């Protein structure tokens, strides 16, 4: 057969396309089987909500306990949300009491306890359905 034969150019691309198709189908099947065999990771919704609540309650890098009630609006629409702010001697809470099985997350923040007085504190959110 000659190098420029029209038969040679027609069969090789077809075989290559079939091989690429077979590999793609095999990978898709493998990925689908693998994803259904692995356990789903537990997602902590409180960890996702915490940055939004912190941003809503913070002004100039300081959390004012008076803003906790408005920070509840930063939470998700479906689940219930509770926000707790605490320092060494004081505690503020907004929202309903969280059940024992609620997902929680917390972070360290600066808390305005009086005009011109700022103390370290902890902002905690609890999310449940």
21 and 52, same domain (yes or no): no
Nearest to 106 by CA among 86, 89, 76, 128: 86
89 and 120, same domain (yes or no): yes
> How many domains are there within the chain?
2
25 and 54, same domain (yes or no): no
pLDDT for 85 equals 96
120 and 75, same domain (yes or no): yes
What is the rounded distance in angstroms from the CA atom of residue 46 to the CA atom of residue 60? 23
Q: Give the residue numbers spanning the domain of 20.
A: 1-40
DSSP state of 108: E
27 and 66, same domain (yes or no): no
Q: 98 exposed, middle or buried (CB, 10 Å; 0-12, 13-18, 19+)?
A: buried
35 and 76, same domain (yes or no): no
Least confident of 10-14, 32-36, 115-119: 10-14
User: pTM of this prediction?
Assistant: 0.66
> How many Cβ atoms sit within 10 Å of the Cβ of residue 32?
10
The 10s digit of each residue's pLDDT in 73-112 is 888 776 789 999 999 989 999 999 999 999 999 999 999 9
């Amino acid at each position: 057969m000659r190098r420029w034969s029209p038969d040679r150019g027609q069969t090789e691309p077809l075989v290559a396309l079939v091989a690429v198709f077979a590999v793609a189908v095999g990978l898709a099947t493998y990925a689908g089987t693998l994803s259904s065999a692995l356990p789903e990771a537990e997602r902590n919704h409180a960890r996702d909500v915490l940055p939004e609540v912190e941003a809503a309650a913070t002004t100039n890098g300081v959390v004012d306990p008076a803003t906790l009630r408005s920070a509840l609006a930063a939470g998700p629409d479906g689940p219930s949300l509770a926000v707790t702010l605490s320092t060494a001697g004081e505690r503020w809470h907004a929202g309903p009491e969280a059940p024992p099985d609620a997902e929680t997350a917390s972070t360290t923040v600066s808390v305005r306890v009086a005009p011109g007085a700022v103390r370290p504190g902890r902002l905690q959110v609890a999310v449940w359905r």
